[in-house]
Amino acid sequence: MTHPLFGSHRPLVAILRGIAPGEAAAVFDVLVEAGITLIEVPLNSPEPFVSIETMAKRAAGRAKVGAGTVLSVAHVDSVKDSGGMLIVSPNANPAVIRRTKELGLESYPGVFTPTEAFAAIDAGADALKFFPAELIGTSGIRAMKAVLPKDLPVLAVGGANASNFGEYLKAGCAGFGIGSFLYKPGASIADVAARAAELVAAFDAAA
């Protein structure tokens, strides 16, 4: 059972770092077809706001599209203007989180310590992104989950993939952000589709 924040969306966030606008529509379509409907375009990709706008227009309620590597309030405004709904960051910047919520978007800041986690919660975060998850480890996540609000979903990002979803779910994670395992610049659409299907099958089996 997924957390209410995600609704009907499987809690797998596709991190499309490096995607170019010309690939956006085709990659979006195969991800949604496979069942991955939370999609982020990191802002250090080529023309990210063009890609976000392209995908957001195709979403039509089927998917939530947004940005990753969001480091400033100005970036939040630009994501909103592009039709994005998700704001994902590698860090927990209270100003970015507050602006995200002011604009009615969803805030997924990155945290590594309990101090960062509670600062993000105080600023209004909707979910926390444990990043890099492979350094925190499942034991660290389990320890932090013991003191975090029970109803706040956490995502493991950085090191989580189809082979270890079960371990992270047992540690208390609600879902995952998947980057290079799913998409790398220049990957064929067929490869992205196959990897997306593998991730969905692995998540569904583990959940």
Spatial neighbors of 81 by CB under 8 A, at least 6 apart, are 49
Q: Is 33 a catalytic residue?
A: no
Provide the residue type at 10 as one letter.
R
Candidates 64, 80, 129, 145; catalytic one:
129
DSSP classification of residue 159: S
Q: How many Cβ atoms sit within 10 Å of the Cβ of residue 128?
A: 27
CA 166 to each of CA 9, 148, 169, 184, 203: distance values in angstroms, whole numbers, following the listed order:
19, 21, 5, 24, 8
Query: Which among 23, 40, 53, 106 is annotated as catalytic?
Result: 40
Catalytic residue list contains 40? yes
Annotated catalytic residues are 40, 129
